[in-house]
Structure formats: structure tokens, C-alpha cells
Amino acid sequence: MPQIVDPNIERYAAEHTTAEPPELRSVADETRQKFESRAGMLTGKLEGAFLRTLVAITGARRVVEIGTFTGYSAMAMASALPPDGTLVTLEVSAEHAEVARRHIEASPWSNRIEIRMGPALDSLATLDGPFDLVFIDADKTNYRNYYEACLPKLAERGVIAIDNVLWGGAVLDPSDTSADTRAIAELNDALAVDERVECVMLTIRDGVSLIRRR
Ligand SMILES: C[S@@+](CC[C@H](N)C(=O)[O-])C[C@H]1O[C@@H](n2cnc3c(N)ncnc32)[C@H](O)[C@@H]1O
């Protein structure tokens, strides 16, 4: 997936962002070694700091994440929760969850994080709202379903953050007919005119849309 932001700008932004806690650096290092090209799924230092700030400034207490991978973003968000805050992160891959579980258990935030295994749509159906923050970052063809499942359970001042909305720039190419690209592009089009919400698309990393109820 090509970078949408000039790599020098991206590096400068990361360098001028507060250092990651050692627990996050450790999971990022293991992820890059173990998963190589798949490590591109990691949100990483810049977006992780953005998500942590989002939790802090919204005062979120109940967070749901769709797509755990190795736990980087879950730990980044949980680190800004109050001690009684909770984060449920949904994952289907036992291989990914094993790494996440190990790092989460070794972190100071383990009592705030629950990894729930299984297809995320099934897990979401069992979770009661209200959610203060939802981070959608799993299979792209289900993005619309995740959004529709979470919106009714969103707290009045809650926020849904959706990752990879620029998909390396592919969403700008109407001749790109891959299922992932079309799913993201169609959701982006729908969000811009969805009268239930206000949406702002940010060009952080691979694009993040923030959605709140009107
Ligand atoms: C982009 S990665 C998540 C990255 C993570 N948020 C981070 O920052 O490190 C997407 C994850 O979603 C998981 N996934 C894919 N389809 C899923 C599904 N239907 N239900 C739950 N998880 C799924 C994948 O196994 C993968 O670990």
C-alpha cells in the first residue's frame, strides 16, 4: 500500500510526536520481526498517539476496537483510559491475538483490555452500548456493516474513528474495482452525506475519518 503522505513529512511528524511508551515500542518491534510485510497493518507511533489523545480529550470510558492485530492500538488507547475504563478489542485470528495477549498482559493496562475472539459482527451483536469511542480497523468489506452496527450504540457525544479511509490513494481511482477499495470508497461517499452524523476525514497516515452524531 503506497504512503499517501510524503515519507519525509510522515517521518518529521512522527519525530515531533511524544515518544511511545516502551510497551508500545516492544510490541511494534516484535510485530515487524514476526509479521514482516503484514506489519504494515500496525497503526504505529503517530496514529497511536493520535488515538491516545482522542481517548484523553473525549474523556472516553468505554472503547470498542474492531481489529486487534498485535494489540498496538488497543494498548495506545487503553493507556489514556481512566483506571476503571474498559476497552474491548475484537479479533478473529488466533495467531494475531496470541501476540496481543502476551504484550497486553505484560503492560500496566491489562485490567482495562479484553480481547474478544470471533468474527467482529457477531461479537458486536453481543455488546451493549453506549460506546464512547469506536475504532474500526478490520476487514474493509465489512466497514459499512461495522459502522451501522456501532452507530445506534454510540454515546451521545461518542466518536467513531475509521482507519485506512484513503487506502493508499486507491479510493481516488474509479477503475480500481477491488472489493476492499470499492467498500471503502462507497462508505466514504455515504458518510459525507449521512444526515445522522458529522464526518471529518483526516490525512493522518492512511486516512482516518472521525464521525460524531449530529
Ligand atoms: C489492520 S489490522 C488491525 C491493526 C490494529 N488496530 C493495530 O493498530 O495494530 C486488522 C485486524 O483485523 C482482523 N480481522 C479481519 N477480519 C476480521 C473479522 N471479521 N473479525 C474480527 N477481526 C478481523 C485481522 O486478523 C487483523 O488482525
- Choose the residue to mutate in 139, 164, 204 for probing ligand 1, maximizing ligand atoms within 8 Å of C-beta: 139
Question: CA 147, CA 28: separation in Å to the nearest integer?
Answer: 27
Q: Which atom of ligand 1 is nearest to the CA of 120?
A: 20
Quick one: DSSP state of residue 193?
T
- Choose the residue to mutate in 137, 164, 184 for probing ligand 1, maximizing ligand atoms within 8 Å of C-beta: 137
Mean pLDDT of 188-210: 97
Q: For the chain, what are the domain ranges?
A: 7-213
Mean pLDDT of 152-166: 98
Q: Which three cell numbers stand for residue 104?
A: 497486553
Contact 203, 166 (CB under 8 A): yes
What is the reported pTM? 0.97
- The predicted pLDDT at position 90 comes to 98
Digit-coded pLDDT (tens) for 37-71? 898 899 999 999 999 999 999 999 999 999 999 99
Q: Is the dihedral of CA 47, 64, 28, 144 positive or negative?
A: negative
Q: Which atom of ligand 1 is nearest to the CA of 72?
A: 9
Question: What are 33's strand-pairing partners?
Answer: none
Measured over all CA atoms, what is the biggest interatomic distance in the chain, rounded to whole angstroms? Answer: 48
Size (the chain), residues: 214
Residue closest by Cα to atom 7 of ligand 1? 42
Contact 115, 142 (CB under 8 A): no
Q: Is the dihedral of CA 7, 12, 13, 18 positive or negative?
A: positive
In the CATH scheme, what is the code of domain 7-213? Answer: 3.40.50.150
Residue closest by Cα to atom 25 of ligand 1? 93
Binning pLDDT at 50, 70 and 90, where does residue 118 land?
A: very high
Does the structure show a pLDDT above 80 at 10? yes
- The residue type of 70 is T
Question: CA 137, CA 69: separation in Å to the nearest integer?
Answer: 9
Q: Which atom of ligand 1 is nearest to the CA of 71?
A: 9
Q: How many percent of the chain have pLDDT more than 70?
A: 100
Cβ neighbours of residue 169 closer than 8 Å, sequence gap 6 or more: 2, 4
Residue closest by Cα to atom 27 of ligand 1? 69
Q: Which atom of ligand 1 is nearest to the CA of 135?
A: 6
Q: Is the dihedral of CA 56, 60, 65, 71 positive or negative?
A: positive
Mean pLDDT of 110-115: 98
Question: CA 170, CA 183: separation in Å to the nearest integer?
Answer: 11
Nearest to 73 by CA among 170, 138, 142: 138
Q: Give ligand 1 pocket residues (Cβ under 6 A).
A: 41-43, 67-70, 72-73, 90-93, 96, 119-120, 137-139
Q: Is the peptide bond prior to 21 cis by the omega test (within 30 degrees of 0)?
A: no
